[in-house]
Amino acid sequence: MEKNILSNKILKTGSLSLLGTILVKAVNLISIPVFSRLLTTSEYGQVDVFMTYVNIFMIIMGLDFIGVVGKGRLDHERDADEFITSSLLFTTIFSVGVVIVINIVFPLIQVAFGMDRLTVNIMLLYSYAMFIISFRAAEYNFYYEYKKNMVMSLSVALGNFALSIILIETVFKGQKFWGRIIGAMLPTVVIAFFVYLYLARRGHWQMKKDHVRYSLEFGVPLIPHNLSHMVLSSADKVMINSMISASASGIYSLVYTLGMMIQVMMEAMNNVFGPWLFRQLKKEENAAIRYVQKYYLLMYCVVTIAVMAISPEIIKIVGAKEYWEGIPMVMWVVYATFINFTYTLYVNVEFFYKKTMLISTGTIMAALVNILLNGLFLKQFGYQFGAISTLISYLALLIFHMIIVNFVIKKNVTDNVFVIAIALLVLGMTFALHSCLDSLIHRLFIGIVCEGIITVIALGLYKKHGNPNFNLE
């Protein structure tokens, strides 16, 4: 049986992954206009800051074991279930410790959170539940079980959306912030509880030292990386909230979220590409990797340009009028997301070779750039500067990891000239689209021209390289 780069298996699993991610993100997208109208801009900003803390503590309490799942299962094929259970049980013990410590020292750190004790404990419970859901999702993705992942993720998203509306309109009508966070937390906790029981029972409730040691050695060094990545995507929101206003943070958060819509595509594609890449790296199929990466990048270009072309109209549709002032920054947020995607071409290679300290170093540096730029210029140029600082930080991140893969690890698995050329091409397209924010017709025309250029590049690649047969199993 012939196995080529466009094998039926890859297409099928990729389509399922994309469909599942789109459905989940569609629920989240629908929720934006709903909650932007149910909540004030100030309340919207407060909720977003709360969710930022949830994402931060999800990394801390889970010891970043989510990133261990794929590689760990490859290295523990004979006792994979026990490996997963061991890792999960250890995070439980650690998380209980985190909760106890935070409650003991809470009077000393209350100002840092800007929340009362009850809110912080709800946040911690929500964070660990999110970790369990993400942990299970990583396992589903590794085995291309996208239907199961879709059911789980969609259940969480729909429960979050529906219960939040019910609570905001009934029990917490005068305290909408509480209605939103409790509505988001409860469905996640319930589903996570049953997922936890399944995983723990499957591994016979065993926690083996060797498995825990492996996860700690691989996962813990990545905590600074993922925390720093969280800073990259969220520090501007927190700093806008404290340095300017909660209302400005709310406007920025909504526009930023919509600008990040193309991460739907990135997540879906990486769910397929990541496990495939690990298997190809193991077999040293560098030619296959370079070939796929080029089309992988071009596919993302198509999505990026399409979103840019219509993003101002989307904001006007989903956001109340008070959010429209954030439209000028949307192009730069979308381009920042494209650069973030491009960086994954390199960091996935570092993950495979377990260069966790280098991964963390690069991300910490980029996060510091983000904080420094916002600290120096946010008040001077306003909250919209947050989009520019994020873009510059992602560019720094990309350059750093490009250097690491090529000159430290010395693995020539990516066509760097091609990556740089495409990044510059999309930058030019971004400037062109940004220049006509007020004209949908002009943006659509530019978008069509840009998509045509990308298509010509793709056809040129196919004509030059053809469709060689590569083993994708």
Average pLDDT on 32-53 reads 83
Q: Is 250 contained in some domain?
A: yes
Compute how many other C-beta atoms are within 10 angstroms of the C-beta atom of residue 278. 17
Q: Is 359 contained in some domain?
A: yes
Average pLDDT on 454-458 reads 88
Q: Is the dihedral of CA 88, 134, 68, 204 positive or negative?
A: positive
Yes or no: say if 42 and 246 are a contact pair by the CB < 8 Å rule: yes
Greatest mean pLDDT among 14-18, 221-225, 328-332 lies in 328-332
Query: What's the pLDDT at 467?
Result: 56
Q: Could you give the CA distance from residue 394 to residue 374 in angstroms, rounded to a whole number?
A: 14
Total structural domains within the chain = 1
- 468 has pLDDT over 50: no
Q: Is 339 contained in some domain?
A: yes
Yes or no: say if 128 and 61 are a contact pair by the CB < 8 Å rule: yes
Q: Is 337 contained in some domain?
A: yes
Query: What's the pLDDT at 77?
Result: 66
Q: Could you give the percent of the chain with pLDDT greater than 90?
A: 25
Q: Is 2 contained in some domain?
A: no
Which is more confident, 252 or 354?
252
Q: Is 245 contained in some domain?
A: yes
Query: What's the pLDDT at 470?
Result: 46
Query: What's the pLDDT at 166?
Result: 94
Q: Could you give the CA distance from residue 160 to residue 163 in angstroms, rounded to a whole number?
A: 6
- Give the pLDDT band (50/70/90) at residue 195: very high
Yes or no: say if 187 and 70 are a contact pair by the CB < 8 Å rule: no
- 363 has pLDDT over 60: yes
> According to DSSP H, which parts of 329-384 are helical?
330-352, 356-381
Q: Dihedral, CA atoms, 344, 350, 355, 357, nearest 10 degrees?
A: -20
Q: Could you give the percent of the chain with pLDDT greater than 70?
A: 88
Show the domain range for 308: 8-465
- 473 has pLDDT over 60: no
Which is more confident, 61 or 249?
61
Q: Tens digit of pLDDT for each residue in 391-428?
A: 999 999 999 989 988 888 877 788 889 999 999 999 99
- 196 has pLDDT over 80: yes
Average pLDDT on 194-223 reads 85
Query: What's the pLDDT at 184?
Result: 92
- 185 has pLDDT over 70: yes
Token pair, residue 55, equals 């994402």
Q: Tens digit of pLDDT for each residue in 58-115?
A: 989 988 788 777 677 777 767 778 888 888 999 999 999 999 999 998 888 777 777 8
Query: What's the pLDDT at 6?
Result: 42
- Nearest in space to 44 (alpha carbons), one of 52, 36, 54, 32: 36
- 382 has pLDDT over 90: no
Average pLDDT on 426-454 reads 91
Which is more confident, 271 or 64?
64
Q: Is 3 contained in some domain?
A: no
Query: What's the pLDDT at 395?
Result: 93
Query: What's the pLDDT at 449?
Result: 92
Query: What's the pLDDT at 131?
Result: 93
Compute how many other C-beta atoms are within 10 angstroms of the C-beta atom of residue 236. 28
- Give the pLDDT band (50/70/90) at residue 7: very low
- Nearest in space to 236 (alpha carbons), one of 88, 387, 365: 387
- 285 has pLDDT over 90: no
Q: Is 1 contained in some domain?
A: no
Question: What helix, strand, coil percent values describe the chain, rounded to 5?
Answer: 85, 0, 15
Query: Amino acid identity, residue 185?
Result: M
Q: What pTM value is reported for the model?
A: 0.74
- Average pLDDT across the chain, whole number: 83
Average pLDDT on 185-205 reads 92
Query: What's the pLDDT at 161?
Result: 92
- Give the pLDDT band (50/70/90) at residue 17: low
Q: Could you give the CA distance from residue 218 to residue 354 in angstroms, rounded to a whole number?
A: 7
